[in-house]
């Protein structure tokens, strides 16, 4: 069975966890990156994220070049502080 982990990590915490998991389950890893990076100030990012949710705005992401047909299992990983 071929596995993939697709993740987004604002602060690096999710990336650290994904790095540990990929070794245990032998998975290919793909990072979701916004075309326009978020600010480094956490409070500003939280406010901006809430505005995006409230206005139903989807932030564009870079192409991650994954063909899902090549995988039996795909895990989407992200963490939330709330």
Splitting the chain (82 residues) into consecutive groups of 10 residues, what average pLDDT does each group show?
Answer: 93 91 93 90 89 92 94 90 55
Q: Judge contact between 80 and 11, C-beta under 8 A.
A: no
Q: pLDDT at position 82, please?
A: 52
Q: pLDDT at position 79, please?
A: 76
Q: What are phi and psi of 38, to 5 degrees?
A: -75, 160
Q: Judge contact between 50 and 44, C-beta under 8 A.
A: no
């Amino acid at each position: 069975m071929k596995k993939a982990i697709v993740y987004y990590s604002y602060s690096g915490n999710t990336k650290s966890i994904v790095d540990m998991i990929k070794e245990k389950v032998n998975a290919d890893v793909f990072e979701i990156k916004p075309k326009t990076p978020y600010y480094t100030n956490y409070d500003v990012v939280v406010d901006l994220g809430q505005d995006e949710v409230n206005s139903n705005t989807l932030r564009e992401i870079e192409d991650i070049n994954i063909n899902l047909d090549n995988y039996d299992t795909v895990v989407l990983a992200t963490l939330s502080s709330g």
